[in-house]
Amino acid sequence: MADVASPFGAVPVSSLVSCAYNDKIVHYKIANGYNTDIFYGDFVKWHDNAPNITIQKDTGTTAMTPIGVFLGCSYTDPVSGEFRQSQYYPANTAADDIVAYVQSDPFVVMKIQSDGPVDQDDIGKNVPVVQTAGSTLIGTSKNAIDISNAATTNTLPLKIIDFVDGPNDALNENFPEVLVMFNVGHQLLNPLGL
């Protein structure tokens, strides 16, 4: 039972495309010294950082333009000079070789916690994101969905498609985990390009 608000961001679990889910990870650069923490489970977007395209945290709530879900990174530690793999990107890291691991499937299905009770009739509704600073201790996001603003509004970034534990269990939980997909704005589906 999810009776405690302990959000963990978005966790990819499957895909809507009709093939076996293989959790395809794509590598993208993060700019040297980028000034925002990015946590495992945060939404990220492309940024035109000429001459390179880099990744930044997508901080949107009611509108987003994501490329996917951040699943960690690697870089050469600027203090020790050692190669480092991390659950999260610490803001202002001074390294030229920072690589983000991103689940960029526009049809990915993600598990995420709700910030309140979800009703059966919320299935199929669109929802905004609650953006909360992640945990530097364990490196995970603390983002959730904002169920109080679930609506048919076509510009909201995520769509609820199912409950994690089944509809009967979820109806008895204060902060249920739901399955969502990107509703609009995914950068790979944008015909205008970057």
Q: What is the 3-state secondary structure (H, E, C) of 36-82?
A: CCECECCEEEEEEECCEEEEEECCCCCCCCCCEEEEEEEEECCCCCC
User: Measured between alpha carbons, how far is 8 from 41 in angstroms, rounded to an integer?
Assistant: 7
Residue 56, amino acid? Q
DSSP category for residue 123 = T
Give the pLDDT score at 1: 46
Contact residues for 106 (Cβ-Cβ < 8 A; gap 6+): 182, 186, 188, 189
CB atoms within 10 A of CB 23: 12
According to the model, what pLDDT value does residue 77 have?
93
Write down the domain spans for the chain.
23-103, 111-188
Category of 180 on φ-ψ map: left (φ > 0), alpha (ψ -120 to 50) or beta: beta
Predicted local confidence at residue 14, as pLDDT:
86
Distance CA 38, CA 34 (A): 10
- pLDDT tens across the length of the chain (194 residues): 467 788 899 999 988 886 666 667 899 999 999 999 999 999 999 998 878 889 999 999 999 999 999 999 999 999 999 999 999 999 999 999 999 999 999 999 999 999 999 988 999 999 999 999 999 999 999 999 999 999 999 999 999 999 887 655 566 688 899 999 999 888 888 777 76
Q: Give this prediction's pTM.
A: 0.92
pLDDT score at 134? 95
Q: What is the rounded CA–CA span in Å between residue 39 and residue 46?
A: 16
